[in-house]
Chain A
Amino acid sequence: MSNWYMLTLTGEDRPGIVARVTRVLFERDMNLGEASMLRLGGNFTIMMMVSGHMDADALQQALSEVVRELGLSLHIDPMKGGLHRHVPPNLMVRVSGADRAGIVARVTGVLADAGFNILDLESDVAGTAEQPVYIMQIAGVATVPLESLEQAVSGLREEGIEVNISPVEMLVG
């Protein structure tokens, strides 16, 4: 159970991709771990942890038919790590601004320099084709106080990038 592979599958979105792929794995007694599956720009994307008796070559072979039929591209990497390693976020950063070169690199660079570790980043382009707006939500863990991060991003605000940082107070009940 401890040998995990990371499967990356992408292809034009259509109904049944998840069902077909996971059916093949189930029929071969493979276990699924954590996964992220979502539609990006009309494509369906899957990143999924898989473990069991099969190695990368066997997985590739087992999935070859469904991959060909659904027009997917498949990539398999052995991975370190495993389940039950969740790190809860303690800060949420919301970003929006006119879409322009480097906005993601600028924002995440400032956060990284301030000691912020990204756990989950969602980004999207809203607005119109003429006036696109970049919107990001970043959940992560900071080891420095909120005030230090505020200080770090204040320069971005002057450049017209809206950055809003709020604490995530986890509730356990």
Chain B
Amino acid sequence: MEPLQILTIPDERLKQPSEPVTDFDDGLRDFVARLELTRQQGPAAVGIAAPQVGHFQRIAIVDCSNTRKPVPNHGNLVLINPEITHWDGYEVGREGCLSVPDYTGNVIRATRIRLTARDECGEAHEYEMEGYEARAVQHEIDHLDGILFIDRVVSRRTDLFKRKVYR
């Protein structure tokens, strides 16, 4: 099995929203396996989303079980048609992206989320997540909506102040 080619900016396809998965078949499972292989071969990525390899279906993989410093996590998660149903809190964290080489920036994300998603067999799941894993999921779901973290990077000073005032 070969890894898939990662799209990188300024590829316009990264802005394309993805469609929900309707068929939970072997084709889907084969794709998920190749997507996971691609994630593992990339430079230390905790997540990957299907549109990053030019496949515009709402499929993402998140795995925060192997971070340098252990964080609360649900292991290797295949997230199909994921929906965030609850947000709570916000915090700034540093992000990078397989599709944005040689750049990192600070992004505000919800601290805790509740999430519904199906797995590659079509089974529905609900997750409660916090911190790093919640951040990873929000980053990947953004990909499914055609949004990159560079669209959300906060400036060194002003954004945080603004956020406080208008919140």
Contacts and interface: CB of A to CB of B under 8 A. Distances in A.
A144 interface: no
A109 interface: no
B94 A173 contact: no
Interface in A117-173: 122, 167-173
B47 interface: yes
Interface stretch (A25-33, A63-71, A83-91): A83-91
13 contacts: A38-B157, A84-B102, A86-B102, A86-B104, A89-B94, A169-B68, A169-B93, A171-B94, A171-B132, A173-B45, A173-B49, A173-B136, A173-B149
A149 to B, nearest CB: 15
Given A86-B103, A122-B157, A172 B43 contact: yes
B1 interface: no
Interface of B: 42-49, 62, 67-69, 71, 93-98, 102-104, 132, 135-136, 139-140, 143, 149, 156-157
Given A86-B104, A88-B104, A167-B69, A173 B156 contact: no
Contact of A172 (B49, B69, B97, B157): B97
Contact of B139 (A88, A89, A169, A171): A171
Nearest to A170: B94
Interface string A72-89: 000000000000101011
Given A170-B95, A171-B47, A171-B95, 17 more contacts: A86-B103, A88-B94, A88-B104, A89-B94, A122-B157, A169-B67, A169-B69, A169-B71, A170-B94, A171-B94, A171-B96, A171-B136, A172-B42, A172-B97, A173-B46, A173-B95, A173-B98
Nearest to A83: B102
Q: Is the interface of A mostly helix, strand, loop or mixed?
A: loop
Nearest to A124: B157
Given A88-B94, A122-B157, A172 B44 contact: yes
A167 B135 CA distance: 15
Contacts of B149: 173
Q: For A38, A89, A170, which residue has the most chain B Cβ atoms within 10 angstroms?
A: A170
Contacts of A168: 93-94
